Structure 1
Amino acid sequence: MDTLWTVLIGSVMILGARILAHLLKFRGYFELIGVPKVKETTFRLHQVVFHDFDVACMHKYGRVWGKYEGVAPHVFIVEPELLKDVLVKRFESFVERQYFPMEDKHRSLVDARSDAWKTMRKALTPTFTSGKLKNMFLNMHNVADEFIDAIQERLETNDVVDMKPLFQALSLDTIANCAFGVHTNSFKHPNNALFKRCQDLFSDMRVKNATESSLIFLGSYFPKIMEWIDLFGLENFEYLFDTTKDIALKRQEPRGDFVDKLKEMKSECDKGKGDLNEDQIFAQGVGFFQAGFETSSNTMTTLMYSFAKNPKVQELAYQEVTEVLKDTKGVVDYEAISKMTYLEAVIKENLRLNPPVIRIDRTCMKDTIIGGEKTPSLKLKKGTVVQIPIYAIHRNPDFFPNPDTFRPERFLEKDESVAEMTFQAFGGGPRVCIGMRFAMSEMKIALAKLISRFKITDSPQTKLTLLPGDPFFLAYPEMKVRLERR
């Protein structure tokens, strides 16, 4: 019996020592590398407005600061030279994003790690060439026309319209039509399952109460726990995975779209020639919705606020669109949107002021030194998470003079005020957003059709009320503007 107790006590002590070593392995890290440390928010994550928090830290601590999230040290970087090292020069040390509790079968290009990411990126890049995009234009046009029809219908009862669900429907239907060959028409059928799942996918990311804050705090110390406690609506990922697989397996006639690419990849996999397994292939459908739904709809929705508050900017955009469409007899084709340089600058300036993704991150995969040329060097230890606070970077007056002013001219070629690595709306380096041109085409087509028919004006209900508790996205409940027919 004594021997049994001795073994039991010894085992508990060993386990306790290992847990303690795990909890303390990074303690003192920020002091060692000379980075100011921010106090943890602990149990009130649901009350934190994360983008404001980042801006406040930037003004208080400068261009680099640190924060423990559970065990892991998170280093926040605003300095362009350090960002270039992380995203470009020393990319091999920062390929992975931070750990997210999801099944491996759901890890698409968005969440993939190391070699799997490289393989996925190489396989999917041909899907977003100029030629492929041109083939998608007809579907983009059709969805944009349904978007305009939906607005016309709403104006019959009220000239103040909540644009958020309309732009969400536009974004979902564009992806469904262009990439999957499915006509959803979420304007007329807002309760269709695919639309609701995509909405839930992002609303479930918000931390909504003290219980969720506490569970996330616990999970930050023991990440594997989060695989047993679903706080992020992981059933939505499963639904999108199953939907992608179902569409692909039922597809009979080729359309030259994203689903056909997945079918091609599966065929190679079945022959034993591909580098991805079946789950990894169909997970790319999850990634398309994950990366394309909220980002585009969020951008266009907040742009309505920017247009309403900056009528002179809207008028200049309208004049450009009108002039371009005169030459194309009203057709918003590939060549037409390429000439809408001011409209593109407007979109980018709105992405600067209101980036839909407020942070991106990279995990340091091996001890790495960054900086040292123009800025002091910084030694990052393996396991450190580098946080890139996009919202704060875009509001830094050193990079963007008068940062709260909406001035699209910053992004015109004649104005070279946008320094390298200071505009991070699409990320940077090899892991830059693969669907950037798809998103810009979708937005320019829809916005050109919108402002050529309607004037967006301010109203007492036009407010951008940003919600707390979302560490990933710029969250707000609605966006109501007054629309006037031109």
Structure 2
Amino acid sequence: MEAVESANANSKLLNVGLLLVATLVAAKLISSLIMPRSKKRLPPTVSAWPVLGGLIRFMKGPMVMLREEYPKLGSVFTLKLLNKNITFFIGPEVSAHFFKAPESDLSQQEVYQFNVPTFGPGVVFDVDYTIRQEQFRFFTEALRVNKLKGYVDQMVMEAEDYFSKWGDSGEVDLKYELEHLIILTASRCLLGEEVRNKLFDDVSALFHDLDNGMLPISVIFPYLPIPAHRRRDQARKKLAEIFANIIASRKQTGMTQNDLLQCFIDSKYKDGRPTTDTEVTGLLIAALFAGQHTSSITSTWSGAYLLCNPKYMAAVLNEQKNLVQKHGNKVDYDILSEMEVLYRCIKEALRLHPPLIMLLRSSHSDFSVKTREGVEYDIPKGHIVATSPAFANRLPHIYKDPDTFDPDRFASGREEDKAAGAFSYISFGGGRHGCLGEPFAYLQIKAIWSHLLRNFEMELISPFPEIDWNAMVVGVKGKVMVLYKRRALPLE
């Protein structure tokens, strides 16, 4: 009897065990069917030590990490950075969603909050998307062709005045000279005559403190009570006071100027509300930050490459000779627009050295991407999504000999930046958040270099410059020493 009961008990246990196993198998099958795709096809992950490994790899240099991981992991991969996941998209095949997604899906606001103490309250990343779009409309309207034509006249005047102070021959740090000229030009075109003629030294010093208050640590802890942040905040307050006085004076006297400041003063939101003094100041600071570094850095790289490449130096000089024969010494918006060879040289320098090496978004929804090899990955909500102009602009399957300075790659018939489709060239970003100041930057750089080419013979006497990877806006490391000699006869 006991043996029978024992057998029954064992049989029941076996049945229960089999039922449990069957249940687990069924649950596994069901879960695999209903599991969100983002759990099934996540991008590969960068290998790193637990907890701090991702941060260490990132802090050693994003470009170093990208160069190591792209060949192993492909065009989409994730870096675990403390409590965040950063998913990188490398190349035009996977970047369309990054550049074209609406703000509700991929947002700039969260990832660029570190700019708020510098730009100030109520502008750009301190406002919701609808207000930010209206403020970007103010920029667009201020950079229309009819406005740009007036700015070009001011650019040319500043360049002529600045280089008139050079001697007949001499030795200069080209990087230093171009940085200072571009600050002067930006002050006149963007901040106005009051600043350029009366307050330039004061405002330049304050902008210097603002600039130095944006450190790598500021990205993570923008309000950390350190001396650089305190100087930043004091400079921001003083700049607000200066511009409040200028705005009040213009409104009281009815005086207007052809500058960005006036455009922002006159701007109105869709509901009819005019901009406030605080908003005008913040928008001006944002504009100067966006343009000053990019233009000075790209001007310097363009010059360094031209001075080391006789073929392209001869080509841009020949272009200037033809324009002088056609138009005389006059330089205006339309003539600058004819400088196609110089344009391609600047564009190529910018391909090789985009000042912003990383572009970031915050993902608000799940989405999928497909690589050029046909592999599909699901990107979960909450990931930070990143792309790198500095890396993507040198992909060998898009650009032939990608590390070589070759402006002809953009010439008609080759157009390597278009052959692989949209977002192959992303020095100025692209899509919904493309740089609004791109036309202004090209005009400014062409105005400066057309003057230098027409009036001076130059020779690079220091080694070709290195890249300053430690800067927030990646630029030129050290001095760029140039020997110059004023042309005895005009270029003709």
TM-score of the aligned structures, taking structure 2 as reference length: 0.79
Q: Specify whether residues 238 and 466 from structure 1 end up closer, same or farther in structure 2 by C-alpha distance, changes over 3 A only.
A: farther
CA change 1:320–1:398 in 2 (3 A) is: same
- For residue 273 of structure 1, what is the aligned residue in structure 2? 272
Q: Which moved more, 1:284-293 or 1:447-456?
A: 447-456
Instruction: Identify the residue that residue 286 of structure 1 maps to in structure 2.
Output: 285
Identical-pair percentage: 20
Residue 450 (structure 1) shift? 0.8
Distance 2:331 2:126 in 1: 34
1:163 lines up with 2:166 in the alignment? no
Contact 1:206 1:469 in 2 (8 A): no
Change (3 A) 1:475 1:485: closer
What residue identity is the alignment partner of 2:396? P
| Preserved CA contact (<8 Å) 1:397 1:403 | yes
- Alignment CA distance shift 1:87-1:416 (3 Å): same
**Residues 1:44 and 1:73: Cα distance change in structure 2 (over 3 Å):** closer
CA RMSD of aligned residues (A): 3.2
For residue 223 of structure 2, what is the aligned residue in structure 1?
A: 227
1:130: which partner in 2?
145
> Counterpart in 1 of 2:69?
57
**Residue type of the partner of 1:37?**
V
Whether contact under 8 Å (1:305, 1:462) holds in the other structure is no
**2:430 aligned with 1:416, yes or no?**
no
1:364, distance to aligned residue in structure 2 (A): 1.5
Return closer, same or farther for 1:177/1:424 CA change in 2, 3 Å cut-off: same
Structure 1: 5+ residue stretches without partners: 1-28
Q: 1:465 to 1:177 in 2, by over 3 A?
A: same
State yes or no: 1:140 paired with 2:155. yes
> How far has the Cα of 1:234 moved from its partner?
3.7
When residues 247 and 74 of structure 1 are mapped into structure 2, their CA distance, relative to the original with a 3 A threshold, is farther
Displacement of 1:361 in angstroms is 1.5
* One-letter amino acid matched to 2:351: R
Give the drift of 1:326. 1.8
Partner of 1:14 in structure 2? none
Which amino acid in 2 is paired with 1:380? I
Query: Which amino acid is 1:388 matched to?
Result: T
SS at match of 2:477: coil
For residue 435 of structure 2, give the secondary structure of its aligned residue in structure 1: coil
Distance 1:324 1:467 in 2: 36
Deviating more after overlay: 472-481 vs 67-76: 472-481
Once residues 404 and 126 of structure 2 are traced to their aligned partners in structure 1, the CA distance between those partners, rounded to angstroms, is: 34
Query: 2:47, 2:471 → 1: CA distance?
Result: 19
Equivalent residues in 2 for 1:81-160 (5 A)? 81-90=93-102, 92-97=104-109, 98-101=111-114, 102-103=116-117, 105-106=120-121, 108-109=123-124, 113-150=128-165, 152-153=166-167, 159-160=170-171
Write the distance in 2 (CA, Å) between the matches of 1:111 and 1:305.
38
Contact 2:178 2:299 in 1 (8 A): yes
- Structure-1 separation of matches of 2:122 and 2:409: 36
| Total equivalences in the alignment | 434
Counterpart Cα distance in 1 of 2:308 and 2:177: 20
- The one-letter code of the counterpart of 2:408 is E
* Partner Cα distance (2:275, 2:323) in 1: 44
The structure with more radius of gyration: 2
Aligned-pair distance for 1:341? 0.5
Q: Which residue of 2 aligns with 1:455?
A: 457
Which residue of 23, 33, 46 corresponds with 2:42? 33
TM-score by length of 1: 0.79
Query: For structure 2, which runs of at least 5 residues remain unmatched after alignment?
Result: 1-37, 488-492
Q: 1:402 to 1:373 in 2, by over 3 A?
A: closer
Deviation at 1:245, TM superposition (A): 3.4
- Contact 2:173/2:479 (<8 A) preserved: yes
Task: Name 1:344's counterpart in structure 2.
Answer: 343
